[in-house]
Amino acid sequence: MPEGQIVRAVSGFYYVRTPQGDVQCRARGLFKKKKWSPLVGDWVTYEETEPGEGWVTDLHPRKNALIRPPMANVDQAVVVASFREPRIQLELLDRFLVHAEREGMEILICLTKQDLLEDPAEADAIYQVYSGTDYPILTTSAPTGEGIKALKEALKDRLSVFAGPSGVGKSSLLNGILPTLELKTGEVSRKLGRGRHTTRHVEILDLPEGGQVADTPGFSQLSFGVMEETELGNCFPEIASLAPECKFRGCLHQREPHCRVRTALKQGEIHQTRYRHYLQFLEEIKEQRRY
């Protein structure tokens, strides 16, 4: 039977991309019985019932699966935050980074709206926060084109998902990469301080230089409901690299004696902001496990 990749899902229809073109499919009732839910990015087997239409009959094994945005088989997360309108929230950025790490994705931090930044020292301060992570960071501006060429290069030969809250400029970046898209963009609400949603569903776009990128709806909340306390440290690269040197196995790097991570914190090897967010997320995980 023919195979393809789901590139869009809207109102119960799955659009499966094949060398011959996209096929509009529904999922067999078997999926509901097995509690399977096809996702954009899934590779599937389908049965064509008539030209351009058919049924998804089987899901291929996944590399990973995201909940928000709902996607599968992602190679790279481009975590997007803006310097202004809305102003960058490092705590929210770290939430995205933790979830991308947990799914084993490569990570690229993309800082947008550089043209609205008056003091370059602010950018330097953000770079300092993440200096211990080895995450590549790109500074971009859609109006001036700064960083767009480097972003195109980073997207080659992989499936990347743009993740970040509404209004940070994900659609503007995609318009810069693929000008023919003309994706709708939205202004940031001055009253709420966050963006209005302009992307309504997840869609995979093929890039002329090779690779694929997904445009996704923005969102602003990420919980840790499925994560264990001992998993969290592995999602902070600067903590994960030092944890084996802690005296106690399963150290949570809070008050345990002979903790290499807390020693590194005192010596400036780990940034205070990142460690503060680690403790905040750890408490959230503990609180969620009580219920």
Binding residues for GTP: 112-115, 164-172
To 5 degrees, how large is the angle CA 55–CA 211–CA 223? 75
Task: Give the whole-angstrom CA distance, residue 144 versus residue 164.
Answer: 21
Annotated binding residues, as ranges? 112-115, 164-172, 246, 251, 253, 259
CB atoms within 10 A of CB 236: 25
Task: Give the whole-angstrom CA distance, residue 53 versus residue 103.
Answer: 32
Annotated binding residues for Zn(2+), as ranges? 246, 251, 253, 259
- The angle, 0 to 180 degrees and rounded to 10, between the axes of the packed helices 90-102 and 272-289 is 70
To 5 degrees, how large is the angle CA 90–CA 93–CA 99? 140
Torsion angle defined by CA atoms of residues 59, 65, 68 and 70, in that order, rounded to the nearest 10 degrees: -20
Return the closest-CA partner of residue 236 out of 274, 279, 284.
Answer: 274
Return the closest-CA partner of residue 78 out of 212, 179, 195.
Answer: 212
Question: Token pair for residue 149?
Answer: 């060429």
Pairing of strands 212-215, 159-163: parallel
3-state secondary structure of 189: strand
Instruction: Output DSSP code: residue 133.
Output: T
CB atoms within 10 A of CB 221: 8
